[in-house]
Amino acid sequence: MIREPLIFEISDKGKRAFRLPALDVPAKPNILDGLPVRAEIEDFPQVAEVEVVRHFTRLSQQNYCVDLGFYPLGSCTMKYNPKINERIAGLPGFAASHPLAPEDLVQGNLEVIKLVEDALCEIAGLDAFTLQPSAGAQGELTGMMVIHACLAARGNPRKIVLIPDSAHGTNPSSAHLCGYTVQEIKSNANGTVDLDDLAKRMTEDVAALMLTNPNTLGVFEYDILKIAEIVHAKGGFLYMDGANMNALTGICRPGDMGVDVIHINLHKTFSTPHGGGGPGSGPVGVTKQLEPYLPVPRVVRRGSAYALDFDRPRSIGRVRSFHGNFLVLVKALAYILSLGPDGIREIAEMAVLNANYIRKSLDEDYHLKYATPTLHECVFSDKYQKENGVSNLDIAKRLIDLGVHPPTMSFPLIVHGALMIEPTETESKRDLDIFIGAMKQIAREAKENPEILKTAPHHSYVRRLDETAAARNPIVKWEKGK
Amino acid sequence: MSYIALSDHDKKEMLARAGVSSVDELYGCLPDEIKLGRPLRLAAAMSEPELLRRFESLAARNTYVEHLSFLGAGIYPHFIPSIVDALSARGEFLTPYTPYQPELSQGTLQVIFEYQTLVCQLTGMDISNASLYDGAMAAAEAVLMANRLNGKPKVLVARSLHPQYRETIRTYVKNLGVRIEEIAFGDCGGIKTADLLAKLDKDTSAVLLQSPNFFGTVEELQRLGELAHQHQALFIVAVAEAASLGVLESPGRLGADIVCGEGQSFGLAPSFGGPHLGFMACKKEHLRQLPGRIAGQTKDVDGRRGFVLTLSTREQHIRREKATSNICTNQAWCALRATIFLETLGHDGLREMAVQNIHKADYAAGKLAAIKGVKARFDGRVFNEFVLEFAVDVRTVIAGLKAKGIVGGLDLAGDYPELKNCALFCVTEVHRRDEIDRLAAALEEVLR
């Protein structure tokens, strides 16, 4: 196998992969005089076009991806990303338009924003959405800032945010960035919110409960209406992390469960590709009372045209530039319009069917800490395999040898040695069976030949990497001669 | 359209395995009273040809793209070589997740490592992260990082920093006890030194300014950085037009402690404002306070070079509320495009592009300012943007140009009431001489 070098290692002076047209305005020989000009960009690459193409094509082949196979990362919703959505987002009318263009020249874009907002309001059962947040974590921050601003307007922004111990790490981090202190709510024996613990902690110092529903175990919070009641009775808000909306679309709506604020990940539920770590998009939906606090600007209808409204004195302000990750919104809208109401419901139904098929197929081979029914994902642990000294890491690495991507590892934190599996709705039974077969083989190997697991992967481009050394002695860029 | 891959036969077998007779039964774990019980009120499903037609008609209502435009102000038109689209469209780059399993993600991880190297070379800094959302958020994160580094409560932000970056900073710090004060600009369009000196004190955590700034003016970074450092304040430089780094001296070499900015100019179409990418780089000693993902080099058990996500003890999934930032998903695919773009242009191509921007903007500024009723508002040196002041109402000028199929400049009165009848123009390598001449002729007619 060719080991692909870094581009800097194949660079040589004078090579070019691109040429501009000759300068067509009169060249002033001394134009750079008086400007702080750099001599050269030291060691910046110089390669030919074919070298760039082969470099990235070879690198691409060292990536696993949804287009290649099953990608069961729990809470990441790695579903198929339709190709038509990419083509649509590339239409020059969208891709070439400038965000500061006069409103009458970008009516199509403003309509896209309005259509996405309206569709998300209907799907989530809430009154208004902002599409500005760039990803889930920024959505959380925006949502918490909206709550903070509303409470502050009532006279007291409060001090505490409650978050279950099963939550994603962005929840406490976002609450903290909004100036709140975080208190953890314990999970009960079912893996859901302990109502007594919640009732005890829910005081008038608490601004909000941040809840993921279904939670990171894939378990729906059956007592959601009681939870909302407890939070609302003390004047707090119920924030829902919508990372797991894929289990619920068209089945039930957060707004109908007492949720006041939600963020939704378009790069999960609404099929926009994850791109190896973004761009995402994290729209935030709120009830009517919180709408005045959403970021500026808002798209509004004025007569027969769409316009941008900046005159919103109670708004929290901007959380980023312009209108969010706009082309991601275009892709999500294409997905929603292609599926229609029945297709949107089918997302959730088939995601839940696929997940339960996997759960039932593997529940004798792998330990399930919680027997509670689950929706779109299930969380096994390595408890049985640990008896032979095999950890969830070994299981994950062996899956790589067997041609599938491992599940999410070691999360949620309430399950020791977790393997969190979310198949999504777009997997075929054949691909699910390949995964199930691989997991069963690994369970057998753990008993019969644990060594093969502990030394896995055996056939990948690189084998187990020394992450400790990487952190202890960080090499985070290429340097000549090093 | 449906993207489900299960036949009726499959579903029957799977339901049997799951031990239920219908999918509804799997939803038995939801209380009945919250179930919707009706179809969502959304438009009926569309086939691919219908969908394409629908979006083509939406896109056609963006008549902006038929205009000759001179808008910049944070989003810049630059040529994108074909291989950027061709390579970045590969499913292997577009459809993986964040590289949590390094053995299956060496492509993405090596790209990030190269991206980090390129950002360091361009900015003159030691360490870069793997990307942030956009320039505005990167500026806000830089302010928070400075506050973590020295704990001082006040940040001086140039009024000539992009207005949306300033707004974003204000939003981010609002509940965190960090105070923002603005530094005025002078007649050259750059920082008014006297104002900076008057506001620098022992409480100043950082001085944040943009170069080239919102008016296109290239700031005297070295001198301003020295003033910040004399007061033990960190010096943060924001670069909204990254193409300038192809020819202007790197902020790192001129004294910056943190460099943040917007990478849209590197192979990303204007896209109505996103997705693009925020970049951020710092000095080695501040590594542990840098927000966001970082890829690092290491070895596998056989001694081969490989790459991993590293230093994750700074991040939310490990440190939760004590993390350096709440960011998780960033803009990896945009960073991939920037990497392909920069490696394609290469050393000479990037410099040539940047130099052409200076020539063309200079040609346009000279030509336009020579028109009666038009003058340059500032006298400082610029990169590819400049501010013109009109003798008449700027709104009639802009409307007159629009009637002739030209968009630009940008009326500055909304963000800068003190810049009445002023507009910001941007000219890059994509503008041909005949297009600049067309703008000049149109402006002359409008003002006649």
pLDDT in tens, A67-124: 999 999 999 999 999 999 999 999 999 999 999 999 999 999 999 999 999 999 999 9
For A100, nearest residue in chain B (alpha carbons): B71
Considering only CB atoms, B31 lies closest to which of A108, A222, A429, namely A222
B321: pLDDT strictly greater than 90: no
pLDDT of amino acid A332: 98
Considering only CB atoms, B346 lies closest to which of A47, A82, A457, namely A47
Question: Helix (H, G, I), strand (E, B), or coil: what is residue B69?
Answer: strand
CA distances in angstroms from A21 to A18, B353, B430, B431, listed in the order given:
10, 10, 10, 11
B215: pLDDT strictly greater than 90: yes
State the nearest Cα–Cα gap between A403 and chain B, in angstroms.
10
Q: What burial class does residue B431 get, using C-beta atoms within 10 Å of its C-beta: 0-12 exposed, 13-18 middle, 19+ buried?
A: buried
In percent, how much of chain B has pLDDT > 70?
Answer: 100
In percent, how much of chain A has pLDDT > 90?
Answer: 98
Contacts of A63 in chain B (CB under 8 A): 92-93, 96, 104-108
Q: List the CATH code of the domain at B64-80+346-447.
A: 3.90.1150.10
In contact, A280 and A272? CB cutoff 8 Å: yes
Minimum mean pLDDT range among B320-324, B391-395, B432-436: B320-324
Residues 83-122, chain B, touching A (beta carbon < 8 A): 83, 85-87, 89-108, 110-111, 113-114, 116-118, 120-122
The mean pLDDT value for B375-385 works out to: 97
Q: Please write the tens of the pLDDT for every residue from B6-21.
A: 999 999 999 999 999 9
Question: Helix (H, G, I), strand (E, B), or coil: what is residue A252?
Answer: strand
Angle (CA) A106-A107-A110 rounded to 5° is 95
Q: Please write the tens of the pLDDT for every residue from A352-388.
A: 999 999 999 999 999 999 999 999 999 999 999 999 9
pLDDT of amino acid A481: 87
Mean pLDDT of chain B: 97
| Beta-carbon count within 10 A of B15 CB | 18
pLDDT of amino acid B169: 98
Considering only CB atoms, A94 lies closest to which of B62, B327, B355, namely B62
pLDDT of amino acid A299: 98
pLDDT of amino acid A351: 98
Tokens representing A452?
């093969």
Residues 215-274, chain B, touching A (beta carbon < 8 A): 218, 220-222, 245-250, 253-254, 262, 269-274
pLDDT of amino acid A206: 98
In contact, B256 and B229? CB cutoff 8 Å: no
B313: pLDDT strictly greater than 90: no
Spatial separation of the C-alpha atoms in residues B26 and B3, rounded to whole Å = 21
Residue A349 sits at φ, ψ, to 5 deg, of -60, -45
ipTM: 0.98
A482: pLDDT strictly greater than 90: no
For A124, nearest residue in chain B (alpha carbons): B40
In contact, B236 and B143? CB cutoff 8 Å: yes
Q: List the CATH code of the domain at A84-338.
A: 3.40.640.10
Contacts of A82 in chain B (CB under 8 A): 1, 3
pLDDT of amino acid A410: 85
Domains of chain A by residue range = 84-338, 343-459
The mean pLDDT value for B48-57 works out to: 98
| Beta-carbon count within 10 A of A214 CB | 24
Q: Please write the tens of the pLDDT for every residue from A461-481.
A: 999 999 999 999 999 999 998
Q: Who's near A61: CB < 8 A, 6+ residues apart?
A: B92, B107
Contact A173 B313 (CB under 8 A): no
Contact B329 A278 (CB under 8 A): yes
Exposure on the CB side of residue B190, measured as CA atoms within 13 A: 17
A57: pLDDT strictly greater than 70: yes
**What band does A227 get if pLDDT is binned at 50, 70 and 90?**
very high
In contact, B366 and B388? CB cutoff 8 Å: no
For A19, nearest residue in chain B (alpha carbons): B349
Same CATH topology for A84-338 and A343-459?
Answer: no
**What band does A1 get if pLDDT is binned at 50, 70 and 90?**
low
Q: Who's near A9: CB < 8 A, 6+ residues apart?
A: A478
Contact B247 A37 (CB under 8 A): yes
What is the layout of strands, in order, in the sheet containing B278-282? Answer: B127-128, B278-282, B258-262, B234-239, B204-210, B154-158, B179-183
In contact, A121 and A131? CB cutoff 8 Å: no
pLDDT of amino acid B319: 86
Q: List the CATH code of the domain at A343-459.
A: 3.90.1150.10
Q: Please write the tens of the pLDDT for every residue from B163-186.
A: 999 999 999 999 999 999 999 999
B301: pLDDT strictly greater than 90: yes
Contact A182 B320 (CB under 8 A): yes
Q: Please write the tens of the pLDDT for every residue from A385-426.
A: 999 999 999 999 999 999 999 999 988 999 999 999 999 999
Contacts of B362 in chain A (CB under 8 A): 28, 31
Q: Which CATH architecture has domain B82-341?
A: 3-Layer(aba) Sandwich (3.40)
pLDDT of amino acid B318: 84
For A354, nearest residue in chain B (alpha carbons): B14
pLDDT of amino acid A209: 98
Domains of chain B by residue range = 64-80+346-447, 82-341
pLDDT of amino acid B315: 87
Q: Please write the tens of the pLDDT for every residue from B67-124.
A: 999 999 999 999 999 999 999 999 999 999 999 999 999 999 999 999 999 999 999 9
